[in-house]
Structure 1
Amino acid sequence: MEEERLDFVLVPLGLFLMGIYHLWLFFTIRSHPRKTVIGLNAQSRHQWVSSMMSDPLKNGVLAVQTIRNNIMASTLLATTAITLSSLIGVFVSSFSNSGDKVSASVIVYGNKSPTLSAIKYFSILLCFLVAFLCNVQSIRYYAHVSFLVTVPTWKDRKDSMEYVGRNLNRGSFFWSLGLRAFYFSFPLFLWIFGPIPMFVCSFIMAFVLYFLDTTTTITRKLHSHSFKEDQRNNSVEAAGNLV
């Protein structure tokens, strides 16, 4: 294969591989959520909200502290993303102002396409901007849930608990998307050194994300036992209240 054509073959293949994997992950979350870490954690968060809101006066401090930790994690990722975006913008603008072309060093075979340098840096910048926006939205939902989870008047109201659980899951989903944008920036960053490292990184990243996103049978059984015990405790408490 001609050296200058590697960018037009390996890079689309790497992006296609990552896209196919995330498309499979999306449909798996929708159809079989318990087979994925994202779906299983969403059910656990619903259970946690029900537990915290069953007695908000007693569990209010614990709930707010837990959500605060999530806000701090999202703030750290958002700060990192916007900082890296600013550095890339300053780096590209400095080369543009000096009249030099922004091109990567020729280190790996196939990296002789200086016309694609702008696309490479713009792709990395776009990943970090998406990560920043997703983490900002995550902070927004977490801050909203920190108020809702401690409302005493919502005790024993299932519809209110479901609403708080949905908002908490939305914040967690935005956090996952922001973290996923960081993962996606690794192949794009290696694209600076050529299409071959980018394709290899995309291939390895797909396998790594598969092991991180899927659950084992043992994990699903542990969560199932936890859900059953929680439902049994709720039934006992309801019977006690009736007596």
Structure 2
Amino acid sequence: MEFTVEYLDLILVPAGLLIMLSYHLYLIYRVLRCPATTVIGYENLNRMAWVERMMQGNPSNTSLALSVISTNISFATFLASVSLTLSSLIGALVGSSSSNLFRNVFVLGDIKSNTVFLMYISMLLAFMLAFVAFVQSARYLIQADFFISTPNSDVPVEYVQSSMIRANNFWQVGLRLIYFAMVFMFWSFGAIPMFASCVVMVLFLYFLDSNSVPLHKYKLDKKVVEDVGYRPPWEAEHRGKLVVEDVGCREPWEAEHRGKLVVEDLAATVRTI
């Protein structure tokens, strides 16, 4: 059987998509098993620490958190609009006579109407799924906005952290779908450019997704007060450090204090609850 250029699409296109899918499965495994070695996991861990710091009840922290979330919502809605616009444009090309555009261009591969139609449908599907992912990202950001802006809120920090992490994950999914749409766009120039773009894209994404920066050890919910003049009656001879871990109030001498006082010294440690 004679080999023709139409067979390039049957070999190189599935091979390129298999390379892209295999890399993203490997990336998901690394995010779940070793999150600190990936940029996605590193961002999620930093977001968890950021939310915990913002939820400490300081009004200035609340306004800053709302401003940051509002900026992220704006970017998510902008990318959702771009994805929807591009999908509408591709849908218009599919339904018009200009879908035969690439028949007049030299393309090393299959240029039959069915292949061109599949090419457009793949790009359309990628942009539509990216639109859905960015909308879901904006949805979870709005949910976190409601949690943080609730007056006198006793919402658990884990609820806000979960919303922020899901928003970041959907954001990453939307970006990956746009990358797939770019690969399908190279398919319009032939199977060989499409396969080469898959290989280059995987190498580029591996460089961007790898993280070698160690995670910063955040000190959360802890107020350190250096004790210079005050001496506890049971430790008059020691000069130590008073560490106040507080959950419900700001001063350790308030009657409704629900935290703990920990006195750390060079020679003795006294704990009172």
| Both proteins in one fold, TM over 0.5 | yes
* Map of 2:37 onto structure 1: 35
Q: CA deviation at 1:104?
A: 4.5
Work out the number of aligned pairs and report it: 230
Larger Rg: 2
**For residues 211 and 199 of structure 2, what CA distance do their matches in structure 1 show?**
21
Structure 2 unaligned blocks of 5 or more: 225-242, 253-259, 262-273
> Please, what TM-score do these two structures have when normalized by structure 2?
0.78
* Map of 2:88 onto structure 1: 86
* Map of 2:176 onto structure 1: 180
**Which of the numbers 219, 226, 238 marks the counterpart of 1:230?**
219
Q: CA deviation at 1:151?
A: 3.0
3-state DSSP of counterpart to 2:107: coil
* Map of 1:197 onto structure 2: 193
Structure 1 residues 66 and 116: CA distance shift in structure 2, 3 A: same
Verify the 8 A CA contact 1:104 1:193 in the aligned structure 2: no
**Which of the numbers 2, 17, 22 marks the counterpart of 1:20?**
22
Indicate the structure with greater strand content: 2
> Please, what TM-score do these two structures have when normalized by structure 1?
0.87
* Map of 1:162 onto structure 2: 158
**For residues 192 and 65 of structure 2, what CA distance do their matches in structure 1 show?**
47
Amino acid at match of 1:139: A
* Map of 2:8 onto structure 1: 6
Cα deviation digits, residues 201-220 of structure 1 (max 9, x gap): 0000001111111101xx12
Verify the 8 A CA contact 1:102 1:117 in the aligned structure 2: no
**For residues 16 and 105 of structure 1, what CA distance do their matches in structure 2 show?**
29
Verify the 8 A CA contact 2:56 2:221 in the aligned structure 1: no
**For residues 63 and 118 of structure 1, what CA distance do their matches in structure 2 show?**
46
**For residues 64 and 120 of structure 2, what CA distance do their matches in structure 1 show?**
43
* Map of 1:206 onto structure 2: 202
Q: For 1:65-144, list aligned pairs within 5 A.
A: 65-95=67-97, 101=100, 103-144=102-143
Amino acid at match of 1:167: S
**For residues 137 and 49 of structure 1, what CA distance do their matches in structure 2 show?**
19
Structure 1 unaligned blocks of 5 or more: none
Verify the 8 A CA contact 1:60 1:150 in the aligned structure 2: yes
Amino acid at match of 1:210: Y
Q: CA deviation at 1:186?
A: 1.0
Amino acid at match of 2:159: Y
The alignment status of 1:57 with 2:46, answered yes or no, reads no
**For residues 144 and 178 of structure 2, what CA distance do their matches in structure 1 show?**
25
3-state DSSP of counterpart to 2:6: helix
3-state DSSP of counterpart to 2:133: helix
Amino acid at match of 1:118: F
Indicate the structure with greater helix content: 1
3-state DSSP of counterpart to 1:175: helix
Q: Which aligned segments of 4 or more residues in structure 1 are displaced greater than 6 angstroms? A: none
Q: CA deviation at 1:114?
A: 3.4
